[in-house]
Every structure is written in C-alpha cells, then in structure tokens.
Amino acid sequence: MPKTFSRLALCFIIYSSFIFDTNAATHSTSSYLEIDKDKVVSSAFGIVTSFNYNQIPIIVPSKEIPLISGQSYGWIIELKTNKPNIKWREEFTLPVKPSTWGDEPTIGSRIITNNGKTSLIEQETYGTNGIIFHSWSVAKGDPKGIYAIRVFSENKLIGSFEFNVK
C-alpha cells in the first residue's frame, strides 16, 4: 500500500464542503456500529490537493480516488473536546492484499492483519483543538476497488469512509 504521511496539526478545510452523515453505519464482524454523534462536529474525506506553508492539508471532498501513483487522499475529523491530546485508531481495509503497505509511520504504530488487507494505525495527537487527520498516497501496484476506513477514538466509531480507487 502507499506511503503514509500524517499531518496532525490544525487542518485547513472548507467547512461548507464536508461530507458527513451522522446516521452512517458501517459493518463490523459482530454488529453494525453507528458514528458517535455526541463526539463528532464534522468530518470529510477526499483528495488532498496540497499543503499550505504550515503543512495544513487542503481536501477536496470525493468518494473516488484516481489510481495514479502519488495521488494523496485522506480524512479529517473535528471532535467536541477540550482535551489537549486525542488518541485515535484507523482501520484501513483494501479489497485485496496490496503488494506493500509502504514505510512504517513516523508517528504512532501500525499493525497489518494476517490476511494482509487491513492496516491498523494508532496515534496520539497534541494541541490540535479537536481536529485529527490522516492521509495516504496511491503507490504503484495498489489494487483497484472499494476501500474502507474506520476511525475510532476512546473505542467509539467517529468516522467511516468508503471510497472507490479506480
């Protein structure tokens, strides 16, 4: 899978462009989970077009990601919190095992599941005023198809993004 790079600072987003559905559900192996509406202010997923001078990403909302090597994509979530740090976990599942998951993250930890189709990343962010973000880049050999990302904080689902890489 692609190189991973995380920009976990205050993120610039066009709030009117958020893709967010507080009623969204996603399938778990044992049950359906609903997004914790009490924790989430807003969220978005899409193509990362650039980073400004403060390394703040600019996201264009999209559920389709071009299968072009180097194309960046990611998610951003704003949480209701006064905590100075936020622990979060990302579960990223591909339709088939990729040829590589890329370099190890420089922040946090990553585990690849036994079937090779899912990456589990855990990180903790500091001083982000409730905003968390993570992005990936398409790498040569990445599979086409439907990808899914679920994001958790304090063991509660806070984001669910399904998208097509083609």
Could you tell me the pLDDT band of residue 54, with boundaries at 50, 70 and 90?
A: low
Identify the residue with better confidence: 87 or 26.
87
Which amino acid is located at 4 in the chain? Answer: T
Confidence of residue 126 (pLDDT cuts 50, 70, 90): confident
Mean pLDDT of the chain: 79
Percent share of the chain, pLDDT over 90:
51
Per residue in 127-158, pLDDT (tens digit) is: 778 889 899 999 999 999 999 999 999 899 99
The pLDDT tens digits for 2-49 are 444 333 323 333 332 333 333 333 333 334 466 777 789 999 999 998
Global pTM reads 0.77
Higher pLDDT, 24 or 119: 119
